[in-house]
Amino acid sequence: MLPPKLHALFCLCSCLTLVHPIDWQDLNPVAHIRSSAWANKIQALMAAASIRQSRIPKGNGSYSVGCTDLMFDYTNKGTFLRLYYPSQEDDHSDTLWIPNKEYFFGLSKYLGTPWLMGKILNFFFGSVTTPANWNSPLRTGEKYPLIVFSHGLGAFRTIYSAIGIDLASHGFIVAAIEHRDGSASATYYFKDQSAAEIGNKSWSYLQELKPGDEEIHVRNEQVQKRSKECSQALNLILDIDHGRPIKNVLDLEFDVEQLKDSIDRDKIAVIGHSFGGATVLQALSEDQRFRCGIALDAWMLPLDDAIYSRIPQPLFFINSERFQFPENIKKMKKCYSPDKERKMITIRGSVHQNFADFTFTTGKIVGYIFTLKGDIDSNVAIDLCNKASLAFLQKHLGLRKDFDQWDSLIEGKDENLMPGTNINITNEHDTLQNSPEAEKSNLD
């Protein structure tokens, strides 16, 4: 058997060949593999493992979708986000999915692999695009509901584009934050104004737990900072909506002033995945401008028990079948009370990563090995998640759309859904089906 890291590297590369077919002898990071016999063997194994991969899906709504990056304040205390929005045109180029090689280095660190893996990831994924028009003008003449989106542990602002693009195609503006609390695998800022002007980035990587650290305390500090970052992003977007002149440090083609009078200020929600799901609850408890929240496969450990009773807004838990475990579900249930709107559904055959883009950009072999794909088709899973979310948002933001056609999904009424959870938290046979082993070691 291969050593664990070498085995992981082999398996990952087996799938990544689908994204970018290559001549292995021309790949600089592994240029030391010069033996033609070895190269031929590796290439044959790669070909045997390879099957056709899918792509990040387009939005299903009627709006064209634009995308840009916004950074307000060049320091690491400022707000950094990717914005998805209804756009005027389809003639702009698609958006680069992961725009800097340093993000791949951050991912390699998060995975516990050498930086060589970051170079390999960058080679395969560095040119992948998402189906959104980069810097396309905002479609004006309409006020849009606003979603603030919070990413998971080890993620960053760009890798939930399948969700952001679909919501924008249905008439939402989506601000996907890149958190600076140490939970992103990588993020950047500028040390001073001159560095910002010449684009000299300073990079910061995932904060690792130190010996003696209690994870619950570290994560609780982080989730509180994350919540404040959500509110800070909301403040800035609403200031721009009011006409306050705010400069985008990144100096991109997109004119920020287009956002003036574009936000329906009474229709604001927060959505997040995993650690971002916990951030949803924290933000709801602290900022009443968020009218409702959707927690995607939330990881509840970071939250203090006191907040569960401080969330009056409607809350929707959309879970995967294989990530959740009893302690996590018990904490979700603490949010329930007769006078509060609470919903929970579980997507059958799904895994934790079905909510993130990697489920689309990798082939089936590695998708299954690294639990990036579940038994359910990834497109079916994200479609159910997005439609259920739209129905919930229409109901609680008071939207005049046709998303109520999917109201039944909120109740788990679909062959690929179950109402509530598959996890038995009472040790009695009162759940819909047996609980599979939770992916406790695979948070994001």
Q: Phi and psi of 418, rounded to 5°?
A: -135, 140
| Cβ neighbours around 247 below 10 Å, total | 12
90 and 63 Cβ atoms separated by less than 8 Å = no
Using left for φ > 0, alpha for ψ between -120 and 50, and beta otherwise, residue 310 falls in alpha
Residue of 241, 297, 357, 444 marked catalytic: 297
Residues pairing with 189 in the sheet: 202
Distance CA 293, CA 280 (A): 6
Distance CA 236, CA 238 (A): 5
**Token pair 């990036």 in the structure block, residue:** 372
Distance CA 370, CA 10 (A): 12
**DSSP secondary structure code for residue 370 in this structure:** T
146 and 233 Cβ atoms separated by less than 8 Å = no
Angle at 295 between CA 292 and CA 300, to 5 degrees: 120
Q: Which residue from 34, 39, 53 is spatially nearest to 359, judged by alpha carbons?
A: 53
272 and 178 Cβ atoms separated by less than 8 Å = no
Residue of 161, 169, 274, 285 marked catalytic: 274
- Active-site residue flag, 352: yes
Residue of 92, 170, 273, 352 marked catalytic: 352
Residue by residue, what is the 3-state secondary structure of 159-224? CCHHHHHHHHHCCCEEEEECCCCCCCCEEEECCCHHHHHHCCCEEEECCCCCCCCCHHHHHHHHHH
Q: In Å, what is the CA distance from 402 to each residue of 137, 365, 394, 395?
A: 26, 38, 8, 11
The pairing of strands 263-273 and 144-150 is parallel
Q: Which tokens in the block code for residue 93?
A: 């180029």
**Token pair 């070498």 in the structure block, residue:** 6
In the chain the first and final C-alpha atoms are separated, in Å, by: 27
Q: In Å, what is the CA distance from 280 to each residue of 110, 196, 223, 312?
A: 23, 31, 9, 13
410 and 417 Cβ atoms separated by less than 8 Å = no
Active site residues: 274, 297, 352
